[in-house]
Structure 1
Amino acid sequence: MKRILITGATSGIGKALCLLYQRRNYDVIACGRNQQALAEIGVLKNVSTLNFDLTDREQVIEALATLPELDVVILNAGSCEYINDAKNFDGDLFARVITTNLIALGYCLQSVLPKIKKGGQLALMGSSASYLPFSRAEAYGASKAGVAYLAKTLAMDLVKDEIHVCLINPGFVKTPLTDKNTFSMPMLISSDKAADYIFKGLLKGKREIHFPAVFTFTLKIFAWLPDFVWSFISTRMINK
């Protein structure tokens, strides 16, 4: 039986991944800070839970100190907040998002990397928002661009340890986070569908998993074009 650790396991993509891997007879370690939601998942066969706040370094290190060997680690937890007034920049909001989405990864990596077996997998949850700049996404986009760089450098440096690193870049996925969005979310998919994409991508050993393909490839094409092209398009979208 293979063992997988998943952070942000109490809702959205993380919860869908836990349920999918549990059905596939993996030994699942579900991590989160919502104790009640963790308790609901923890009653399932082959699921154990760890309750901690990933932005608290001491909590992370203490909770993960006695981990067994791991075959797969998916560092999925994250948050999304928007800068609604760039001129009056909210530094506290920026710090919150960067801490949750990027700095907390460092706390987790310190604890989980020594536990991943040779031939194991590490997956980091990025976002297709890192391909291009989007209005109001100064904090979220910057954090996910950092995750992308982190994943790519880890992929190079962990080759000698035989640990495969994958970057996950979803498009719009229906979760409690995206339910708060007031703007149009093209090609929105369910958390279950997102989990299926991730599961299949990791089985194939992909270095990047991005979905849905039509949406993410469209963003990639715009990212390859000169910056002024996307700047012109995005400005027209904002001013509509």
Structure 2
Amino acid sequence: MKRVLITGATSGIGLGLAKRYSANHQVIACGRNSEVLQQLSKEHGVVAKAFDVTDSDAIASNFAELQPLDLVILNAGGCEYIDNPNQFDGKLFERVMQVNLISIGYCLEHLLPKIKPGGQLCIVSSSSVYLPLPRAEAYGASKAAITYLARTLTATLNDIGVTVVHPGFVETPLTDKNDFPMPCIVSVEQAVSEIEKGLEKRKAEIHFPRRFTYILKLLGLLPFSMWLPIAKRIAS
């Protein structure tokens, strides 16, 4: 039985992954919602750890006594948009960077030494990294940094497989707040299946739904001068 640690395990993709992996593995589920964690522990037998990933001291104390891990999935994150870039919200930018990016650094400090040789690290980013999108100055920048970090770790870590996940739109409490069309949106169950299959194959990148992400990848190959008028039309 493998030992799997998942952050952001109290909602959305993280919750779905915790339930899926708990069927055959020992899962350490991390999140802020203690009630959901208690329910996960009761119904699925996970080891629950309630803390905020932006709190480096809490991470240190919760991860200090961990036994060796086979798989770590860093999934915790948030999403806020900058509606008016002419009135740039520095505090919003800081919040998004703290929860999406800096917290991963805190986790890596304490979790990388816990991953067994031959184990796996999975970092959940976003398909927004393929294109600069309006309103995503904070969110997109944080996810682009995550992808760069993951790919650098892929090239530099010894004895640990690294996977970066680039989901499209997934039906979660985060996307429920979106006030714009979300093409090709998939369910949490579909997202979990794609991630699980990709990790089984030890893929360096997992992206889905492909009919959406391949379009973004192709658009991302355009010179920025060709993408710019499209982005401005979207923003207007």
- TM-score w.r.t. length of structure 2: 0.98
Structure 1 runs not aligned, ≥5 long: none
Paired residues, number:
236
Post-superposition Cα deviations, 1:105-145, rounded to whole Å, max 9, x if no partner, equal 01100111001001100000100001111111000000000
In structure 1, distance between residues paired with 2:170 and 2:44: 27
The residue number in structure 2 matching 1:91 is 90
Residue 185 of structure 1: aligned partner: 182
Other structure's SS at 2:21 match: helix
Local SS of the residue matching 2:87: coil
SS for the counterpart of 2:43 is: coil
Matches within 5 A, 1:3-22: 3-22=3-22
Matched, 1:215 2:207: no
Alignment partner, residue 103 of structure 2: 104
> What is the distance in 2 between the residues matched to 1:156 and 1:46?
35
**1:45 Cα shift?**
4.1
Q: Is 1:56 equivalent to 2:51 in the alignment?
A: no
Residue matched to 1:198: 195
Letter in 1 for 2:32: R
CA displacement at 1:238 relative to structure 2: 2.6
Pair 1:163-2:160 in alignment: yes
**Cα distance, 1:228 vs. partner?**
1.6
Alpha-carbon distance, 1:234 to partner: 1.9
Answer whether contact 1:26 1:46 (CA < 8 A) is retained. Answer: no
TM-score, normalization: structure 1? 0.97
Partner of 1:144: 143
Contact 2:134 2:234 (8 Å CA) reproduced: no
Distance in 2 (alpha carbons) for counterparts of 1:132 and 1:142: 11
Indicate the SS of the match to 1:44. helix
- Aligned partners of 1:168 and 1:209 also within 8 Å: yes
Indicate the percent of aligned positions where both proteins have the same amino acid.
53
Distance (Å, rounded) in 1 between the aligned partners of 2:234 and 2:68: 48
State yes or no: 1:68 paired with 2:67. yes
Q: Please list the CA deviations of residues 180-211 of structure 1 after superposition, one character each: whole Å capped at 9, or x if unmatched.
A: 00000000001111011000000011000000
Task: Show structure 2 runs of 5+ residues with no match.
Answer: none
